[in-house]
Amino acid sequence: MTRSRFSAWCAPVSAALLFSFAACATPVPVGAPAPDRMPPERGSPAGAATRRSPVGPAPLSPALAAQSGVVRWPIKTAEHIDLWLHAFAMISSDSVPMPLYRRGYRDSMTVVKNRAGLFTSLDSNRTVLGKQLRTSNGYVLAQFLTLDVANWDVLRAFGERFLQAGGDVRRASDKGTAERLAPFAAIFPTPEDREWLRLFLAGVDDEQRRFFATEHSRIVRTRAAVITAVDSLWQRVYRPKFDRFLTNTGQRTGDIVLSVPVGGEGRTGLGRDRQTVVVVPFPQRVEDAADVLLVFAHEITGPLVASVVADNTTPAEQRAGAADRVLSVGQVRAGAMLLARIAPELTAPYMRFYLAHVGALEAGAARDASASETALTLQFAQRFPLPDTIRGALERQIEIVLGGI
């Protein structure tokens, strides 16, 4: 899911917001703190050091740091990205045509919290937060705010500065801070919006301190074998197959972040070093390691799909929202087209994965390779229908990018 998916819903936001694996078993944490860019702690003078999260990114060993400097598209984990998306997932509904999170995620996390006897302020305010989230679609763009910050403390501090300034970016102490607050101003322009943000930030902070930091650490630790499997499959087998498409679309380097809340709708934006960050599902089993590749294919075709849809829809259709309705389906179809060219063995798994993601296949059937591929292809095309003009244009553009013509 990229910024283009929300272009008709949200006010313009800075590029820094929107596009804000090492070969071993230990994941490389994303966003190690950069002291010169850290905002001050609550109530502290400007320039003071910000406190660290209770469980934050682990420091890299010299050997691993050396590896991470040369590995293209390393596999990483990021607690603060997962925390932010987790909080959105907990106040969102699964009952949408294309779920923004892993199906059943909210219910599964609620069960874990209930077993531990935990009820946070995010839980107590879920109804009011969720209601305003549903009626103010622009808030969903705030999911991208976390991609180019070092950790939760940094994001929280910028959000609190924005609220303290009453939403007036001109009250920022310096140009750099004003630039960081501008995305908040674009998404939360009114007093009502800022009150929602205040309540949400407090809920996320309570969730982090009382539940999520410990739970996320446990999940990453217990899925070490999954991380190893994903890294090996990606770096040794599939990264070379994606290389031409990535290079020719200006995505030669970046980070792949394994995320617990994310499902078929990944997240793509710019990181702190202006590199592409693609957030993909964090599989629960080694056997599902290829799911990362499927959603990665879906995500990296986003800019191409947006361009094709813009070129093949009229201004009237764009004003009516038709272009945005095609974008979601177009990206699902484009991922399948790309895999058919570079890794055809993943095409059928891709179609099953996305059919399951929208509830068109049972969970078991999503892994069943015995079904007729012809029937699967037909079902996929019917569930994700695309106008012939756009479908043909996508196929031609992918062909051009891969150097076929």
Per-residue pLDDT for 287 more than 60?
yes
pLDDT of residue 248: 95
pLDDT of residue 239: 98
pLDDT of residue 173: 85
Mean pLDDT value of segment 5-16: 35
Q: What's the predicted TM-score (pTM) here? A: 0.83
97 or 205: which carries more pLDDT confidence? 205
Closest CA to 132 of 190, 70, 48: 190
Average pLDDT, the chain: 84
pLDDT of residue 148: 94
Mean pLDDT value of segment 30-54: 36
pLDDT of residue 363: 53
pLDDT of residue 70: 64
pLDDT of residue 318: 83
pLDDT of residue 162: 97
Residue 32: which region, alpha, beta or left (left: phi > 0; alpha: psi -120 to 50)? beta
pLDDT of residue 365: 57
Q: Residue with structure tokens 């068109």? A: 360
Mean pLDDT lowest among 62-71, 186-195, 204-213, 296-305: 62-71
> What CA–CA distances, in Å, run from 146 to 116, 135, 258, 363?
28, 22, 14, 30
Mean pLDDT value of segment 3-28: 35
Between CA 240 and CA 342 the distance in angstroms is 10
Between CA 156 and CA 172 the distance in angstroms is 16
Percent of the chain surpassing pLDDT 70: 79
pLDDT tens digit sequence for 165-183: 999 999 988 999 999 999 9
Closest CA to 8 of 375, 321, 405, 365: 321
pLDDT tens digit sequence for 65-82: 444 456 889 999 999 999
pLDDT tens digit sequence for 315-369: 888 888 888 889 999 999 999 999 999 999 999 999 999 999 999 986 555 556 6
Mean pLDDT value of segment 264-286: 95
Confidence band of 229 (pLDDT split at 50, 70, 90) = very high
> What CA–CA distances, in Å, run from 174 to 31, 34, 227?
23, 18, 41
Mean pLDDT lowest among 110-119, 122-131, 137-146, 215-224: 137-146
Per-residue pLDDT for 43 more than 60?
no
Is there a contact between 76 and 257 (Cβ–Cβ < 8 Å)? Answer: yes
pLDDT of residue 69: 53
pLDDT of residue 271: 92
Q: Residue with structure tokens 């070490």? A: 224
Mean pLDDT value of segment 224-235: 98
Per-residue pLDDT for 23 more than 90?
no
pLDDT of residue 331: 96
pLDDT of residue 298: 98
pLDDT tens digit sequence for 181-190: 999 999 999 9
Mean pLDDT value of segment 222-246: 98
Per-residue pLDDT for 370 more than 80?
no
Confidence band of 295 (pLDDT split at 50, 70, 90) = very high
pLDDT of residue 369: 61
Per-residue pLDDT for 223 more than 90?
yes
Per-residue pLDDT for 61 more than 80?
no
Closest CA to 205 of 301, 268, 293, 125: 125
b/e per residue 240-260 (b: at least 16 CB within 10 A): eebeebbeebebeebbbbbbb
pLDDT of residue 138: 86
Mean pLDDT value of segment 386-393: 96
pLDDT of residue 371: 61
